[in-house]
Structure 1
Amino acid sequence: MKITGWRTLKTVHRWGRPIGDVNGTVESGVTEVPLLILETDEGVSGIGLGGHADIARIFPAIEGEDPRAVTALYDRMQSWVFKSGHAGSVFGAIGVVDMALWDLKAKLANQPLWRLLGARQPFVPGYASGLDFPLSLEELVNLHSRFAERGFSAFKLKGGLDVEQDIERLRAVREVYLRNSPSPAMMIDVNESMNAKQAVRYVRRLEETLDLTWIEEPVRRWDAAGHALIRQQTNCAVATGENLTGIEQFQPLLREQAVDVLQAGMCWGISHFLRVANLAHAFSLPVSPVGYNANPVAHAAAAVPNHMSCEIQDLSFPLGLHVDQRIENGGIMLGNTPGLGITFDETTLAQQLNEGSWTLPQGPHVRPERSGLRLSLRVEQNNE
């Protein structure tokens, strides 16, 4: 069997609400979802989800290769671009190809990926997270009420601009989850928007009235000393890692004892998550994958011994995709369809006329000028 080609499709995810974080929002609530179809000479194809604009750069590394050699091909793709570097969009393309390769391998074995990877059970515990920064308090409560109906007892909110507002929102949403637990787990994600001392002040203010489980990405992703300071001077856990591209980038955090929960972005693929999980396990740390469309890395999360909780960002899936999983009992119940359990209706995809807007210049991928430079923990948004 040989890899012969690839093609790209695209659909959209309709969130039904504005989404975003402290760095920006998508008011339309519609985001693009690229799909990579990896083709073979035996007619079996693999599916990967996520941005892969640099696929042409790395495809020569796998063309003509047997797709079942997933681990070797993952390293081969990284070696193919070692002079120019494998970070950023290149790493994203490698991750999407990696997803498609694992999907292929499991399909050829006629097994769901979670079983091929050695998981004992198909259930993956999760926490509710709705990219909910732009929502009003009423909208926020309504959203998390829907998650609570699916059995969740842990949640994460987006915050970091106004500590008093964040306290109000955390308290209100906590009330929603009391139906499922007397002590819901509460997390806050500030998306690298603070400096270390500001983050310490921010967390200490939250902890005056709340039992915070973790703060996520309080400072820049590479700031090991800053994360270490926050970890030492606050009670909650520090979670980070979703934007790190390669396990070598985690080493400073581990050397500085700067992190309590290692995270890995789902969009970076299966092999990356497995390697991060092994690295975390060696340091007796839990691992948590950050959410993405159709939760593909949940298959790998089911198979590692130190998985804590998987971020689940929505209760629906992108248009035209059928995903063999159920979100229930506070997590993901993976199905038995071979591979990632993702199939698509190409006719439906071809009819999509609306463009997604995740990558607009004003969207969540643009760091505001005053990030990390604010003097107050309570800033009026119109002064930004």
Structure 2
Amino acid sequence: MKITGYRTLRTVHDWGRPVGDVNGFIASGVTDVPIVILETDAGVEGVGMGSHADLDRLFPALEGQDPRATATLYDAMLARVFKSSHGGATFGGIGALDTALWDIKAKLAGEPLWRLLGAADRFVPGYASGLDAALSDGDLATLYARFAERGFTAAKLKGGRNLTADLRRFDILSDLFSAAGTAPALMLDANESWNLKQAVRHVRALEESIDLTWVEEPLRRWDATGHARLSAAIRASVATGENLTGLEQYRPILDAGGADIVQAGAVWGITHFLRVAVTAHGRDLPVSPVGLTANHAVTAAAAAVPNHLSAEVQDLGSPFGLTLDQEFHDGGVVLGDRPGVGIEVDEAAIRHARADGNWQEPAGPHVRSPRAGLRLVDNGSWEQ
């Protein structure tokens, strides 16, 4: 059996609300979802999502190879681009192809990926995370009430610019998620928007009023010393790692003791998540995947690792033209039995719709705010 080619599609996710964080937001709530379909001479195809970046440079590492050799082919893709580095969007291309390889492997085995990877339980604990920075208090309550109805008892807010607003919004979540009689787990995601002293002041002030479970991406992703100093200065755990593109990038922050909860972006693929989980497990640290809404396949990997803590569930819907073999119940994700990663693609519908969306809008969360980490006071504007 050999890999013979690939094709690409691009669909959209309509969130039905503005989505964003401290850096900005996308008012339309419509974002792009790149899809890669890997082809074989046996007619079995694999579906992956992540990025279309550098696929032409990466594919020669796979062409003519047996797709079941997932670990070897992953390393072959890294080797293919080692001179220019596998970082950034290129790593998303690797992640998309890697996920497609795992999809083929599980389909050939006739098993859902969670079972192939060795999980005994199809249930994956999760927390609600609505990319909610631009929502009014009323819309915030409406959104998170839907998660609470599905049994979620943990939630993460986007924030970090205005202490009063963060406290008010946490009160809304606390009321919603305490209805079942359980004290909720509350987290804050600052998306790399603070310097160290801003982070210490803001989190300590929050902790005077709430029991904060973790603070996420408080500082720039490479600031190992700063993360370690922050962790020592606050009660909450420090969670970070979602934007690290490669296992080697974790070494400085883990050696410094800067990550209490090790995160991995789902967009970077299954093999990356599995390797990060093992690395964290070797240090007795929990792992948490970020952004499972479109990258459903990593949920299956989370079910199979011993140190999985909780997975970020950003939305209860799915991208246009994709059917994900999962349900949301009891505060988590219940995976199905469809062989493979559990993604069914309606290519005809996607190609016919020709919808557009762009995470890279200048006002959106994927473009760093020009005054991030440099504000003395907050005036409520994204244009500072």
Normalising by structure 2, report the TM-score.
Answer: 0.98
Note if contact 2:186-2:212 (Cα within 8 Å) is conserved in structure 1: yes
Amino acid at match of 1:337: R
SS at 2:102 equivalent: helix
**What corresponds to 2:60 in structure 1?**
60
Give the CA deviation at 1:370: 1.2
1:25-174 aligned within 5 A = 25-174=25-174
Q: Is the 8 A contact 1:294 1:317 kept in 2?
A: no
Structure 2 CA distance, aligned partners of 1:75 and 1:382?
41
Answer whether contact 1:103 1:113 (CA < 8 A) is retained: yes
Q: Deviations over 1:241-265 (max 9, x none)?
A: 0000111111111111111000000
Instruction: Tell me, in whole angstroms, the C-alpha distance in 2 between the residues paired with 1:50 and 1:92.
Output: 5
1:197 aligned partner? 197
Amino acid at match of 1:32: D
Match of 1:221 in 2: 221
Partner of 1:22: 22
1:235 alignment partner in structure 2: 235
CA-to-aligned-CA distance 1:65-94 (integer Å, 9 cap, x gap): 000000000001001111111101111100
Partner of 1:302: 303
1:4·1:63 contact (CA, 8 Å) conserved in 2? yes
1:360: how far off? Answer: 1.6
Q: What SS does structure 2 have at the residue aligned with 1:315?
A: coil
SS at match of 1:272: helix
What CA deviation, in whole Å up to 9, does each residue of 1:12-37 have, x standing for no partner? 11100000001111100111111100
Alpha carbons of structure 1 residues 31 and 212: separation in structure 2 relative to 1, 3 Å: same
Q: Is the 8 A contact 1:152 1:180 kept in 2?
A: no
Q: Does 1:317 align with 2:303?
A: no
Tell whether 2:267 aligns with 1:254.
no
Distance in 1 between the 2:351 and 2:89 partners? 25
Alignment of 1:174-189 (within 5 A): 174-189=174-189
Helix, strand or coil at the partner of 1:213: strand
Range moving further from structure 2, 288-297 or 133-142 = 288-297
Q: Whole-Å Cα distance in 2 between the matches of residues 6 and 130 of structure 1?
A: 33
- C-alpha contact (below 8 Å) 2:369/2:382 kept by paired residues: no
* Residues 274-285 of structure 1 aligned to structure 2 (within 5 Å): 274-285=274-285
Contact 1:153 1:181 in 2 (8 A): no
Between 1:348-357 and 1:224-233, the stretch displaced more is 348-357
Distance 1:262 1:285 in 2: 7
* Distance in structure 2 (CA, Å) of the matches to 1:322 and 1:154: 26
How many angstroms does 1:296 deviate by? Answer: 1.8
- How far residue 181 of structure 1 moved from its aligned partner, in angstroms, is 4.1
Aligned to 2:361: 360
The one-letter code sitting in structure 2 at the alignment partner of 1:325 is: Q
- Partners of 1:118 and 1:266 lie apart in 2 by 19
Aligned residue pairs, count: 383
Letter in 1 for 2:329: E
Q: What is the Cα deviation at residue 9 of structure 1?
A: 0.9
Q: Could you tell me how far apart the structure 2 residues matched to 1:383 and 1:361 are?
A: 11
Measure, in 2, the Cα distance between the counterparts of 1:2 and 1:181. 54
SS in 1 for 2:212: coil
How far apart, in 1, do the equivalents of 2:181 and 2:59 lie?
48
CA distance in 2, matches of 1:99, 1:175: 38
Would the aligned equivalents of 1:324 and 1:342 in 2 still touch at CA under 8 Å? yes
Distance in 1 between the 2:364 and 2:83 partners? 31
Please state if 1:372 is matched with 2:368.
Answer: no
How far did 1:49 drift? 1.1
- Deviation of 1:345 after TM superposition, in Å, equals 1.4
Moved over 6 A (4+): none
Identify the residue that residue 340 of structure 2 maps to in structure 1.
339
Structure 2 residue ranges without an equivalent (≥5): none
CA deviation after TM superposition for structure 1 residue 294, in Å: 4.7
3-state SS in 1 of match to 2:226: helix
Instruction: Return the letter of the residue paired with 1:358.
Output: W
**1:44 corresponds to which letter in structure 2?**
V
Contact 1:186 1:212 in 2 (8 A): yes
**Deviation of residue 160 (structure 1)?**
1.2
Deviation at 1:144, TM superposition (A): 0.1
Provide the residue aligned with 2:210 in structure 1: 210
How far, CA to CA, are the matches of 1:102 and 1:294 in structure 2?
13
Is the 1:106–1:112 Cα contact (8 Å) retained in structure 2? yes
Unpaired runs of at least 5, structure 1: none
Aligned to 2:351: 350
AA of the residue aligned to 1:343: E
Contact conserved, 2:50 with 2:295, CA < 8 A, in 1?
no
> Following the alignment from structure 2 to structure 1, what is the Cα–Cα distance between the partners of residues 53 and 295?
20
TM-score of the superposed pair, with normalisation by structure 1: 0.98
Q: Is the 8 A contact 1:28 1:357 kept in 2?
A: no
Letter in 2 for 1:277: A
SS at match of 1:39: strand
Give the conservation status (yes or no) of the 8 Å contact 2:32–2:359. Answer: yes
Offset, 1:158: 0.2
Cα distance in 2 between the residues matched to 1:369 and 1:349: 35
Deviation at 1:211, TM superposition (A): 0.4
CA change 1:382–1:130 in 2 (3 A) is closer
DSSP-derived class of the 2:297 partner: coil
**Which shifted more, 355-364 or 150-159?**
355-364
Q: Contact between 2:262 and 2:280, CA under 8 Å: does it hold in 1?
A: yes
**Percent sequence identity over aligned pairs:** 57
Residues 127-182 of structure 1 deviation map (CA, whole Å, 9 limit, x = unaligned): 00010100001100000000000000000010011111011001111100112342
